[in-house]
């Protein structure tokens, strides 16, 4: 089992190592089992396995970009394929910078105070403890063994880690020589405890398949931190004080050899040491550091903890957080049972609630208010546990906490109009962030839209039109290279379309688009245009201009912009064209966007600014407003803007999705609904709706198709086959297609259904919301327009079948017409079927071929007619009944081997081979019959169908 674990880990992507959960799924074991196996065998966690490569890559990036921000660094690493969170990157970044600052020029080192200066209270309530910690580390030769005691959550582990950093700084130990062991993990299993700490010899116990070093070996010439040391059994404590006394240890199962060890032990416990630790063990720990609980520390330090934790959350969400005056007073009064640890946990929870309020409202500030606290914290201020006058001395107003320091804040103010120009990447980042805060998928969909609208709202509401006109905003959003490209593009457009006045919206939109294109090319994510040929056909002049633009950019800037981008540039030009052409009066599908909060209006404002004014309407729904209250306004708006081509309703979530049927029922206006709307989708809808003669269903199909380019999960490719009377005929068509195209199911999911109990239009609508619907095959055409529809008669015809495989690009997937292996399906071989006469045999095999989709319903009747005027007995007890090829869908044999011979036109028959031929040459039939005759005696004795097929195919 361990070999399998090592094999999986050795073959993993080193930039994105497998988690214990992912490994457990592969090995069909529990995650706990994998974690235990990994630890027992000294295999690092996924994060630890990634760190060496991550560290190397960070150092490489910092060589070229010393002033890069941690956020940008994280993004670069993620683009390179690392599964690295901002927290991990920040930690490695800080270690690298600390190391660079500590050594080099003029043999200077960082002052020792820096290692402990970030401990709150280092110069106040913890001054003595910090001095003890320094003395313990500096004591020759390897430091003093130390026991840190104190209640849960007072910072024992944190102090131990700072002692390690201090030891590295003072060159007492090397980096990465801090080994942590939680004694509670193996408290009840002394053998595993011994193995984990000291290692073991091969064969020392069941499962010990090879020699293994323990944690003590890893901590040699370093520090071993034993957390929850009180959970060690008496035997475990004795093991340790023998190491302390003698400086030697033996592996489990070792009887002769002893290994020398030099290390410093730091232990921590929350319990009374006299009751829980052996006196012999306590005597061997010369230094005890007692950390006080939070209520024994000053109010000033408590406020520093509060600010520190909120500042950290501020960095996490990249927003300043305002701690309201009353809320700050309540937090200072709150006495958490688990000290600093519980205070930190509560503040994280409170900040998450504040952030939820921020992204679900029109506020541009994250505020921590009293109503976000639970009753226990709210009451703490009024119960007087802390002197109010002392609180007043510390705080007098709201406290504002920002993600970065003051100079960085100034830089952020300079860039206040900037937002991520790659919207897709922006959505993905925020999705991860919200998920980490515990939101549900439904909430995340809503919050992403609100957050996006809020972010772009800040851009457009704060910026004056003059800011856009003089290019200030554009300079903030894209680099100089993109600006040069845009200016060149505008020159080409002006030369090709001199009759139009170019506006700043076009410049802005093309700049944003080209910037995103370059990012996609760099990351290898090439986006396909959903309907390039339609664009070319509808806007040939603009299409050709766009081709010139892309060709110029590729040649001049040495890019590889794909052909599909011609379609998108054409759409931008098309908006410019139509916005200035007064004679464009053809009807279009009307668009209404509706969502919770004030988001719909902001999305529409941004969309109209970027691609030109539209006739789309926005309706904002209050978060606490019942859906039915908004319905009257929605129906009024639908009636007002309908141009006779129906209404497209773009909604965010929830019950709004059901409004389409209600509008149609009450107004008679055809309405289609698309959920999970965002600004990008709205822009796509407005663009496509402006195309002449585009029907509502076409618009919906294009939006679903186009939306795949920024969907985080790939939608399934689907073919739908339905029959009005039941699923049987649909299954026969499926078998027919699979037989002729064996790899069809590898590329498409084929859904079959009967529609006697369904509304086929609604059923197709539902499929389109969840899948890419590539083709629809049925015996009754739906009322709505469907791309790639084929009725049964056409799909069975050669012309219709050829059109089907051409549309779905399946020509190279067809089976060879002359492949004998595909002429005999094991599901059409029958051993000892219960047929008593010729009539039953013909009916039995015909029905099997019909149900398999090999032949048409008329085949059985045609076979019987042929038997009336010809003899199909061919000798050796074999009959080969058949019918004309016009009754056949594709070539196939059905074979029945009888237990008893039956009468067949005056002959005795026990092998019946019903032959359906469509496009098969005579030679193929002759070869098949030759094998059948040659292997006849063997086949008649066969007990398994696979044996029969093998004999007839391979001899």
Closest alpha carbon to 54 in 11, 6, 100, 16? 16
Give pLDDT tens digits for 835-852: 889 999 999 999 888 887
Mean pLDDT of 854-880: 86
pLDDT in tens, 476-512: 566 777 888 887 888 788 778 766 656 666 777 777 7
Strands (E), 680-779: 716-723, 749-754, 771-778
* pLDDT score of 599 more than 70: yes
Q: Per the omega criterion (within 30 degrees of 0), is the bond before 826 cis?
A: no
714 pLDDT more than 70: no
Per the CB < 8 A criterion, the answer to whether 595 and 651 are in contact is yes
How many beta carbons lie within 10 A of that of residue 111, not counting itself?
A: 9
Cα–Cα distance between 84 and 75 in angstroms, integer?
9
> Mean pLDDT across the stretch 773-784?
83
Q: Does residue 673 register a pLDDT over 50?
A: yes
pLDDT of residue 112: 41
Antiparallel, parallel or unpaired: β 873-875 and 878-879: antiparallel
Per-residue pLDDT tens digits for 257-312: 888 888 999 999 999 888 888 888 888 888 999 999 988 888 889 898 998 888 88
Pairing of strands 590-596, 617-621: parallel
DSSP 748: -
Q: Could you read off the pLDDT of 332-382 as tens digits, one per residue? A: 888 888 888 888 888 888 887 787 677 666 566 788 988 788 777 776 665
- Integer Cα distance of 699 and 682 in angstroms: 12
From the candidate CATH numbers 3.20.20.70, 3.90.650.10, 3.30.70.3000, 3.40.930.10, the one assigned to the domain spanning 820-954: 3.40.930.10
Residue 719 confidence (pLDDT): 92
Residue 324 binned pLDDT confidence (cut-offs 50, 70, 90) = confident
Domains of the chain, residue spans: 1-39, 44-108, 113-292, 295-409, 478-580, 716-813, 820-954
pLDDT at 406 over 50: no
Output 132 or 63, whichever has higher pLDDT: 132
Give kind and range of the element (H or E) at residue 847.
Answer: helix 838-851
Q: Is residue 74 over pLDDT 50?
A: yes
pLDDT greater than 60 at residue 213:
yes
- Cα distances (angstroms) measured from residue 873 to each of 218, 883, 896, 907: 84, 14, 14, 7
Q: Tell me: pLDDT of 554 over 80.
A: yes
User: Where does the pLDDT of residue 582 fall: very low under 50, low under 70, confident under 90, or very high at 90 and above?
Assistant: very low
Q: Is 258 helix (H, G, I), strand (E, B) or coil?
A: coil
Q: Return all residues near 357 (Cβ < 8 A) that are at least 6 apart.
A: 363, 366, 367, 372
User: How many CA within 13 A on the CB side of residue 591?
Assistant: 29
Sign for the CA dihedral angle at 883, 884, 890, 891 comes to positive
Helix axes 504-523, 423-436, angle to 10 degrees: 70
Decide: 734 and 750 in contact? Cβ < 8 Å: yes
Spatial separation of the C-alpha atoms in residues 349 and 355, rounded to whole Å: 10
Q: Which residues pair with 902 in a beta bridge?
A: 909
Say which CATH superfamily domain 113-292 falls into.
P-loop containing nucleotide triphosphate hydrolases (3.40.50.300)
Q: CA 608, CA 351: separation in Å to the nearest integer?
A: 35
Do 820-954 and 716-813 have the same topology in CATH? Answer: no
Residue 186 pLDDT > 90: no
Distance in angstroms (rounded) separating the CA atoms of residues 464 and 920 = 74
Choice between 205 and 576, residue whose per-residue pLDDT is larger: 205
Cα–Cα distance for residue pair 738/935, rounded to 1 Å: 29
Q: Cβ neighbours of residue 431 under 8 Å, at least 6 residues apart?
A: 444, 448, 712
- Kindly report which listed range (23-37, 202-216, 396-410, 721-735) carries the lowest average pLDDT score: 396-410
* Lowest-confidence pick of 622-626, 813-817, 908-912: 813-817
CA dist 597 → 85, 215, 358, 363, 789 (Å): 31, 55, 12, 11, 41
Q: Identify the pLDDT of residue 658.
A: 66
In this structure, the number of other CB atoms found within 10 A of the CB of residue 795 comes to 19
Q: Quote the percentage of the chain above a pLDDT of 90.
A: 7
The pLDDT value recorded for residue 579 is 44
Q: Which residues contact 826 (CB under 8 A, 6 or more apart)?
A: 945, 946, 949
pLDDT of 502 reads: 63
pLDDT at 709: 43
pLDDT one-digit tens code per residue, 97-115: 766 655 444 333 334 445 7
CA atoms within 13 A on the CB side of 918: 20
CA distance 351 to 353: 5
Q: What would the DSSP string read from start to end of 792-845?
A: HHHHHSHHHHHHHHHHTT-GGGPPPTT-GGGTEEEEEEEES----SHHHHHHHH
pTM for this entry: 0.37
Contact 517, 482 (CB under 8 A): no
Say which range, 23-27, 275-279, 670-674, 711-715, has the weakest mean pLDDT.
711-715
Q: What is the CATH number of domain 478-580?
A: 1.10.1790.10
- Number of Cβ within 10 Å of residue 389's Cβ equals 7
Mean pLDDT value across residues 928-948:
79
The number of helix segments (H) and strand segments (E) in the chain equals: 44, 25
How confident is the prediction for the chain on average, in pLDDT?
Answer: 77
- Give the residue with greater pLDDT, 87 vs 24: 24
Q: Residue 830: pLDDT above 50? A: yes
Q: Which fold has domain 716-813?
A: Rossmann fold (3.40.50)
CB atoms inside a 10 Å sphere around CB 399: 19
C-alpha distance from residue 111 to each of 107, 131, 948 (Å):
12, 15, 86
Residue 186 CA: distances (Å) to CA of 64, 192, 273, 680: 46, 7, 20, 53
- CA-to-CA distance for 529 and 583, rounded, in angstroms? 28
Candidates 112, 127, 230; CA nearest to 182 is 230
- Report the distance separating Cα 568 and Cα 339, nearest Å: 58
Asked whether residue 21 carries a pLDDT value surpassing 60, the answer given is: yes
């Amino acid at each position: 089992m361990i070999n399998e674990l090592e094999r999986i880990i050795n073959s993993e992507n080193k930039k994105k190592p497998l988690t214990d959960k992912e490994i457990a799924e592969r090995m069909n074991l529990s995650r706990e089992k994998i974690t235990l196996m990994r630890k027992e065998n000294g295999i690092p966690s996924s994060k630890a396995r990634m760190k060496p490569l991550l560290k190397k890559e960070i150092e490489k990036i910092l060589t070229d970009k010393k002033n890069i921000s941690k956020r940008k660094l994280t993004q670069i690493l993620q683009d390179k394929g690392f599964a690295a969170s901002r927290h991990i990157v920040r930690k490695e970044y800080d270690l690298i910078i600390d190391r660079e600052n500590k050594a080099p020029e003029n043999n200077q080192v960082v002052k020792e105070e820096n290692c402990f200066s970030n401990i709150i209270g280092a110069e106040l309530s913890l001054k003595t403890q910090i001095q003890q910690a320094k003395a313990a580390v500096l004591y020759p030769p390897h430091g003093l063994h130390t026991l840190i005691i104190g209640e849960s959550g007072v910072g024992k582990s944190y102090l131990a880690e700072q002692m390690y950093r201090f030891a590295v700084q003072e060159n007492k130990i090397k980096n990465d020589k801090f080994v942590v062991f939680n004694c509670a993990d193996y408290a009840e299993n002394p053998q595993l405890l011994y193995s984990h700490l000291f290692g073991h010899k091969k064969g020392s116990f069941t499962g010990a398949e090879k020699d293994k070093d323990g944690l003590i070996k890893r901590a040699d010439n370093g520090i071993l931190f034993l957390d929850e040391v009180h959970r060690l059994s008496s035997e475990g404590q004795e093991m340790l004080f023998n190491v302390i006394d003698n400086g030697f240890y033996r592996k489990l199962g070792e009887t002769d050899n002893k290994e020398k060890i030099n290390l410093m032990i730091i232990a921590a416990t929350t319990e009374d040491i006299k009751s829980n630790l052996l006196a012999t063990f306590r005597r061997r720990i010369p230094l005890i550091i007692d950390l006080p609980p939070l209520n024994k520390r000053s109010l000033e330090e408590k406020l520093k903890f509060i600010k520190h934790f909120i500042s950290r959350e501020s960095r996490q969400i990249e927003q300043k957080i305002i701690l309201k005056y009353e809320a700050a007073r309540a937090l200072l009064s709150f006495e958490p049972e688990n000290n600093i640890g519980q205070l930190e946990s509560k503040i994280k929870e409170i900040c998450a609630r504040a952030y939820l309020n921020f992204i679900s409202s029109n506020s541009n500030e994250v505020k921590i208010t009293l109503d976000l606290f639970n009753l226990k914290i709210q009451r703490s201020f009024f119960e007087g546990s802390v002197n109010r006058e002392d609180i007043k001395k510390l705080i007098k107003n709201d406290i504002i906490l920002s993600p970065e320091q003051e100079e960085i804040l100034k830089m952020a103010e300079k860039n206040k109009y900037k937002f991520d120009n790659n919207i897709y990447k922006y959505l993905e980042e925020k999705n991860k962030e919200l998920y980490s805060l515990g939101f549900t998928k439904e909430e995340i969909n809503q919050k992403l839209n609100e957050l996006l609208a809020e972010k772009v709202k800040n851009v457009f509401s704060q910026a004056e039109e003059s800011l856009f006109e003089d290019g200030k905003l554009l300079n903030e959003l894209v680099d100089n290279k993109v600006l040069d490209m845009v200016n060149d593009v505008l020159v080409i457009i002006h030369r090709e379309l001199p009759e139009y006045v170019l506006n700043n919206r076009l410049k802005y939109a093309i700049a944003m688009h080209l910037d995103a294109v370059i990012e996609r090319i760099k990351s290898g994510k090439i986006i396909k245009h959903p309907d390039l040929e339609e664009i070319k056909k509808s806007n040939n002049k603009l299409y050709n201009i766009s081709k010139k633009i892309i060709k110029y950019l590729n040649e001049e800037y040495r890019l590889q912009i794909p052909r599909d981008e011609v379609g998108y540039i054409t759409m931008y030009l098309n908006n410019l064209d139509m916005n200035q052409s007064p004679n464009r009066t053809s009807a279009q599908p009307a668009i209404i966007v509706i969502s919770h909060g004030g988001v719909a209006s902001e999305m529409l404002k941004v969309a109209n600014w970027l691609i030109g004014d539209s006739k789309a309407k926005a309706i904002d729904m209050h978060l606490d407003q019942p859906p039915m209250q908004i319905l009257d306004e929605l129906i009024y708006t639908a009636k007002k803007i309908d141009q006779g081509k129906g209404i497209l309703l773009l909604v965010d979530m929830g019950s709004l999705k059901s409004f389409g049927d209600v509008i149609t029922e009450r107004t008679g206006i055809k309405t289609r609904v698309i959920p999970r709307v965002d600004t990008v989708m709205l822009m796509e809808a407005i663009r496509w709706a402006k195309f002449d003669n585009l029907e509502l269903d076409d618009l919906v199909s294009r939006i679903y198709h186009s939306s795949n380019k920024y969907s985080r999960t790939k939608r399934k490719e689907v073919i739908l086959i339905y029959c009005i009377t039941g699923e049987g005929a649909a299954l026969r068509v499926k078998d027919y297609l699979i037989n002729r195209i064996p790899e069809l199911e590898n590329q498409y999911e084929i859904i079959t259904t009967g529609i006697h109990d369904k509304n086929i239009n609604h059923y197709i609508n539902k499929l389109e919301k969840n899948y890419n619907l590539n083709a629809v095959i049925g015996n009754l055409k739906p009322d709505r327009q469907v791309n790639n529809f084929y009725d049964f008669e056409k799909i069975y015809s050669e012309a219709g079948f050829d059109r089907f495989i051409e549309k779905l690009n399946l020509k190279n997937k067809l089976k060879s017409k002359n492949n004998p292996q595909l002429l005999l399906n094991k599901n059409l071989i029958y051993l000892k079927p219960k047929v008593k006469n010729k009539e039953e045999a013909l009916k039995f095999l015909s029905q099997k071929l019909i149900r398999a989709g090999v032949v048409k319903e008329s085949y059985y009747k045609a076979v019987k007619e042929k038997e009336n005027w010809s003899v199909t007995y061919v000798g050796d007890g074999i009959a080969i009944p058949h019918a004309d090829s016009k009754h056949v869908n594709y070539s196939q044999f059905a074979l029945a081997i009888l237990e008893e011979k039956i009468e067949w036109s005056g002959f005795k028959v026990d092998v019946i081979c019903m032959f359906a031929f469509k496009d098969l040459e005579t030679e193929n039939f002759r070869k098949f019959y030759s094998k059948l005759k040659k292997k006849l005696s063997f086949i008649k004795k066969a007990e398994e169908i696979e044996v029969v097929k093998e004999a007839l195919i391979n001899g």
